[in-house]
Amino acid sequence: MRISLLGWSSDGMRCPDVKVDLADGMEPSAVSLIQMPNGTGKTTTLSLLEAAMNGSATNWSETEVRDFRRPGSPTEKGVFVVRLAVDGKPLTFELTLDFGRGTAVYRTTNPGSGGVQPNWVPLPSVRRFLKPEFLNLFIFDGEFAGKLFDQRQLEAEYAIEALCQLYVLDDVAGFAEEAWNRKAKQAPVKTEAGLAKLQESHRALLKRKAEVARYRENAQVGANKLALEIEELDRRIKAKLSGGAQTRERFDAAQETLASAANKLTRVSGDAMQALRMPIALHTAFGRDLVQLKEGLDKLRLPENSSAQFFQELLEEVDCICGREMTEGAREEIRARSERYLDAADAGTINALKADIEGVGEIEGEGSPNAMFAALVAELATARKEQRLATQEVDTLKKQLKDAGETDIDAWEAEQVLAMEKYEGCKKLLEDIDAAGEELDEDEVDVETWSMASLERQIRAIGSRIAKLTDTLTVRRQTELIVRILKRTGELARAEIKRELIDACNETIAKVLVNDPLRIAGIDRSLRLSGQSGASVGQTLSVGYVFLMTVLNRGNNDLPLVVDSPANPIDAGVRRRIGTLIPKLTKQFVGLTINTEREGFVPALQAASSDVRYLTMFRRTPGTLPLMAQVPADRATVTESSVLVHDQAFFEGFDIEEEV
């Protein structure tokens, strides 16, 4: 399927009133660059563009709706219209916001399904591409690229699932389960009441499984958001505590000292615990006694290889070594008891013991284990004291800053405690859901459990019992086999797709980032770089472009790529390589830019594509009046609030970073 963005229009919204055309007819330009200075409403435009396409505005609160009203405007309604082409056929979404009532209303125009219709009603074949998680893959800003690298996010996994349509395997598995349920209902049964009870339990367990799955997804999302909130509050607190006057500078230094002391304490504690593995380090008496033991063994010449021979020769003597006559009875007793003394295993143990004692080295003195352990104990005491003093200094300075009027810190710390409690609650729920759960007897059913594994076991067990009652055991086994095959197929497909994506991305990254040897090592929930835990903003955006374009190309669908500030954080060299690459990887690219992004990026796009559309938009304000003299009248659309210019020369000469 090919989806193209033909343009959009805005009237009465917080962003300027404007109509943006990206196509002549139904075929959009391959590259559309819309130059919008900061303050022109780029973020608002992107938000409305996504809301119009995904139908989410009906869930907005009254406050969220009214936030899109232009400040100081008496307008009671705002309208935002998005025009698309789906496989060459028009599709239009119209979003109307009623600022007085705080409500949102949609209209959909689709000539292929009844013309203008109320509400947001795209065709089923298009709907899945317009889900919020799917739209994020081709309408985004630089922050989205960063989420691809965040282990707390699932954006990279979602991208693969959505664009490679792996969800189809789950749909097929669900269809197989439904088909078996229908057959089980139609088959003759032996015990109607028993079957009805089992089927009721089966439905309850399936409902509970779906419910637990939703709870798990919400808990995971909640935990991710709370983790970010906790980090942000921590950043605010530290910034508040560490910014400003001399006390704050002392606080920064005290925090560094505390961190250093904690690291030192950890290191010394580890060294001391390692030293404790040798008892001789605790006291020199252990060492002296061990040396004495070895000397005694040496004196007795134990163990000796001739130990067994000694007893053999003794048996041949006339008299025993004690002086008594060697009788036949004495010989038999010695022969029987000789096996108890210094056999091969005993000799090996004694030899190993002597070797270990020899390896100890110096027992007393500066280089002895006891002396080194004593030094570690002293160093450990010093480290603990340093940490205690550093903690006291941090707490003292922190109280001084609070007493000096930093009242926000108390509120932030209270918010942080509350957020941490909620975070722990989400993590506890996730642990309960992922737990193995209790093993139940055959007749037991627990629909209240949070364990997904337990629910799946119960569903399989009851399904098997239903199958026996309905004489559909063979079908049931075949259904379970199909579900297992589909599940395994999904796992193998994901692993293979990830491997191929990593290879393709790394091949492209090597061309794009010639002077920056980055490589993707794996895709585990998020992107993981080889040999490093993070990347610069420019590196993140560059690798994010490559990953998303590579995934989009694999999905057998042509989708537009709409990016806010596509080249702002990256240097001119990387801009040129990205600009050259973009037209090769997507049939429609729409970039919302500012003038500082033109260098390197725009010339590269021009060289790589012969179909580039240049648009420049700015607000009509007293500060922008001098620009009106430069506007080509025959290539501009002027409204009360904005000016939109369709001209390459004006685009390239436009020089304003932020409107006043």
- Quote the pTM value: 0.54
Helix (H, G, I), strand (E, B) or coil at 33: strand
Q: What are the sequence ranges of the domains in the chain?
A: 188-242+408-471, 256-403
Q: Is there a contact between 302 and 342 (Cβ–Cβ < 8 Å)?
A: yes
pLDDT the model gives residue 65:
94
pLDDT the model gives residue 660:
43
CA distance 135 to 123: 16
Q: Is there a contact between 570 and 544 (Cβ–Cβ < 8 Å)?
A: no
Q: State pLDDT tens for residues 528-573.
A: 787 766 666 667 777 777 787 777 766 567 888 898 888 776 777 7
CA distance 240 to 407: 10
How many C-beta neighbours within 10 Å does residue 58 have? Answer: 13
Q: Is there a contact between 109 and 118 (Cβ–Cβ < 8 Å)?
A: no
Q: Characterize the bridge pairing of strands 18-21 and 27-28.
A: unpaired
Helix (H, G, I), strand (E, B) or coil at 643: strand
pLDDT the model gives residue 9:
96
DSSP assignment, residue 442? T
pLDDT the model gives residue 300:
63
Positions in the chain whose pLDDT score sits under 70: 111-114, 133, 141-159, 162-165, 167, 186-194, 240-248, 299-310, 339-346, 348, 359-361, 401-408, 471-474, 512-514, 525, 532-538, 553-556, 569, 657-660
CA distance 78 to 56: 16
Please spell the DSSP secondary structure of 582-606, one letter per residue: HHHH-S-EEEEE-GGGHHHHHHHHH
Find, among 622, 617, 619, the residue nearest to 645 by Cα.
Answer: 617
Helices (H) and strands (E) in the chain, counts: 22, 17
How many C-beta neighbours within 10 Å does residue 173 have? Answer: 19
Q: Characterize the bridge pairing of strands 139-141 and 115-118.
A: unpaired
Helix (H, G, I), strand (E, B) or coil at 618: strand
pLDDT the model gives residue 261:
85
- Beta-bridged to residue 614, according to DSSP, are 33
